[in-house]
Chains A and B, each alone.
Chain A
Amino acid sequence: MNVAFLGATKGMGRALARRMAERGDRLFLLGRKDAELDKTAADLGVRGGGAAPGHALCDLERPETFGPALDAAVDALGGLDAVVVTAGLFATQDALESDRDLTRRLLTVDFAHTVLFCEEAKDRLLAAGGGKLCVFSSVAGERGRKPVILYGASKAGLSAYLEGLDHKHRADGLEVVTVKPGFVKTGMTADLDPPPFAGEPEEVAGRVLAALDRGAPVVYAPIAWGPIMAVIRSLPRFVMRRVGF
């Protein structure tokens, strides 16, 4: 599988890219920092037992980088089978409430710009007759919740967009896979106290890769978060108002 990967340098993206490299998928990395991309490419090269993947600069804060970065991926790999997006911004509700500029950035990056990136990716995949678009949203977008009002809103919007895209284009050969991770122990969440059922990135990567291979439209990871979110979605509002999550 030829994969353009935005976000392979850290966390769940790193774990997923490693699995792909180890089983022989051909990757092209997109990201913000050249030095980080170099190191991650080296890591994936050693794991895959072959050459280090190529990479290009692509910054979710700068939409003008999206098209050229994806074109570089198409050129380098000689065609795309999948595009994976794990990059995004995260901040706690407290941090966002005290910083309007951070809120604007997070909403822009996690929703508007991620959607714009997916539009560019979609065009290229459809032009080649289809493929897979795998995007990391979050369980935070399942329901309006006190600790993740703003972050969750951006992810709710993203999930809705991805669902619509999947409905429209599955018949054209484009399979959209929406990943909804629960709490996963990565650098992004290192400052938070992990709740019960907190998962490891490797576990998420295994589930996501299986879902990607069979083209499942939605995947919760780790597995416990599927039933947990089913319960949370069904709670009446008066309960949600009283509880802290």
Chain B
Amino acid sequence: MPNGSSTISGWGRIPVPGREVLSEDLERLSEGAVLSRGLGRSYGDSALPPPSVREVATTTLADRLLAFDPETGLLRAEAGLSLKELNRLFLPRGWFVPVTPGTQFVTLGGMVAADVHGKGHHVVGCFGEHVTRMKMRVADGRVLWCSDEEHPDLFRATIGGMGLTGHVLEVEFRMRPIPSPWIWQESRRVDDIDAYVDALKDAAEKWPYTVGWIDCLSPGKNMGRGILMAGDWAEPSVAPKRFPHPKPRVTMPVELPSWVLGPLSVRAFNTAFYWKHLPREMTGIVHWESFFYPLDMVRHWNRMYGKRGFTQYQCVLPEEAGRGAARRVLEILTRRGGASFLCVIKDCGPEGKGLMSFPKKGISIALDIAVRDDTQELVDALNERVIEEGGRIYLAKDTFTRPEHFRAMEPRLERFQEVRRKWDPEGKLRSAQSVRLLGDRP
């Protein structure tokens, strides 16, 4: 029953009034809905309803695989299919998604909407690059297919369009064959942020997957010391013969009190994490889940940040800004004593086909920030820096960016809004985020 008091939130656990409506029949469910939602792993308000609407259409029950061609790897499925299920079914058969984000708890529809990128962006681009066509319900009620040939404007605006152009019903994309279900990983301890950025660029030349974690609390000389990880699917000759057992999961049973993640504990964690990697270089075979989805091992890890929730700040800094750009952004954080113990730095390749897709040539920085009284000012300061560097933010993570900042970093916005106006002249399709950032009606 529609319940007036229910709330709904993103992964950052900052709730708004609302509820999810579910059905196996996505075509019917999407009729008249203002927004689709998948597994709710976007951190901020991307998958939350606008203030005057209570309901979002949750796609997770619409999760059927509709076609797979083992000759070409072409796969078509309903938008609610989870990556977890896809991995469970296809890894044993020697197939993997062309692009994976850092969690398996996402749907195909969500992967399109956020145009997710992963550790391989410098080689394979975003998920949208591998999507061949999509079945959509658009604002006027029609159900249609779009691709590079059919309604290309809709296709490109939907990739990375945060669900604001229409409801994705089915997604067709190409899976990639893998030589074994194990990962060969090489990791290195790096002394500071500048060395880290150089090492990341070097690794990207050699490896299809690169990622790294840095300590952004230590100021001065040690700032940005970190661990750089690079990997690839292991060749059968070096991989174990058995199939990797599913990793055991633990659950964060309750919300932690906010003081647990204070500067001291985070500093201790960061130091321990850094020195755990005692040899400067390590190599070996690792489990694909530990490599791609380390945080999936802890269910409800978002409870760690306490009652007020958290946000993730993720930006991309263009190559033109030079190698000092990352240091300049991190300095804002250390100056304000922001306690973030997950600062992930990735290499990005060229911009993809998605009209509002996040990555562009340069490096991406992502940090978790527990909500405090000064979070808005911190995000403002970071955004001002990012604008100066010529960078931009990732909508799937955002909760606090101001519309004027977003406009300043997104020259592509006008074109995106044009496509939206063409396909949705009455402005029906919208989210809490599009009301906040794009000026949609509440």
Docked CA distance A243–B24 (Å): 33
A227 at the interface (CB under 8 A from B): no
A40, A187, A193: the one within 8 Å of B64 (CB): A40
Docked CA distance A24–B1 (Å): 39
Docked CA distance A86–B89 (Å): 24
CB<8 Å pairs between A and B, sample of 8 = A10-B24, A36-B25, A39-B66, A42-B64, A43-B64, A46-B66, A187-B24, A192-B1
A171 at the interface (CB under 8 A from B): no
Write the nearest CB–CB distance from B21 to chain A, whole angstroms.
7
Docked CA distance A22–B21 (Å): 29
Write the nearest CB–CB distance from A222 to chain B, whole angstroms.
17
Please state if B64 and A39 are interface contacts (CB–CB under 8 Å).
yes
A147 at the interface (CB under 8 A from B): no
Interface residues contributed by chain B, number (CB under 8 Å): 16
Please state if A43 and B22 are interface contacts (CB–CB under 8 Å).
no
Docked CA distance A49–B90 (Å): 10
Docked CA distance A192–B24 (Å): 16
Write the nearest CB–CB distance from B406 to chain A, whole angstroms.
34
Docked CA distance A230–B333 (Å): 58
Residues of B with C-beta under 8 A to A36: 25
Docked CA distance A42–B67 (Å): 6
Please state if B24 and A43 are interface contacts (CB–CB under 8 Å).
no
A14, A40, A46, A193: the one within 8 Å of B1 (CB): A193
B3 at the interface (CB under 8 A from A): yes
The CB with the most chain B CB atoms within 10 A, among A11, A36, A40, A190, is that of A190
B222 at the interface (CB under 8 A from A): no
Please state if A193 and B89 are interface contacts (CB–CB under 8 Å).
no
B65 at the interface (CB under 8 A from A): yes
Interface residues of B in 245-292 (CB under 8 A from A): none
Given contacts A47-B89, A49-B93, whether A190 and B23 have CB atoms under 8 Å apart is yes
Write the nearest CB–CB distance from A93 to chain B, whole angstroms.
13
A99 at the interface (CB under 8 A from B): no
B301 at the interface (CB under 8 A from A): no
Docked CA distance A41–B21 (Å): 25
Q: Add 15 more A-B contacts to A46-B67, A49-B93, A193-B1 (CB < 8 A).
A: A10-B24, A22-B89, A39-B64, A39-B78, A40-B64, A42-B67, A43-B64, A43-B66, A46-B65, A46-B89, A187-B23, A187-B61, A190-B23, A190-B61, A191-B1
Interface residues of B in 1-42 (CB under 8 A from A): 1, 3, 21-25
Docked CA distance A86–B30 (Å): 26
Docked CA distance A40–B68 (Å): 14
The CB with the most chain B CB atoms within 10 A, among A46, A49, A191, A193, is that of A46
Write the nearest CB–CB distance from A21 to chain B, whole angstroms.
11
Please state if A42 and B66 are interface contacts (CB–CB under 8 Å).
yes
Q: 0/1 per residue, A33-65, Cβ < 8 Å to B?
A: 000100110110011010000000000000000
Given contacts A47-B89, A49-B93, A193-B1, whether A187 and B67 have CB atoms under 8 Å apart is no
A114 at the interface (CB under 8 A from B): no
Interface residues of B in 320-344 (CB under 8 A from A): none
A9 at the interface (CB under 8 A from B): yes
Docked CA distance A187–B26 (Å): 11
A14, A22, A47, A49: the one within 8 Å of B24 (CB): A14
Q: 0/1 per residue, A181-219, Cβ < 8 Å to B?
A: 000001100111100000000000000000000000000
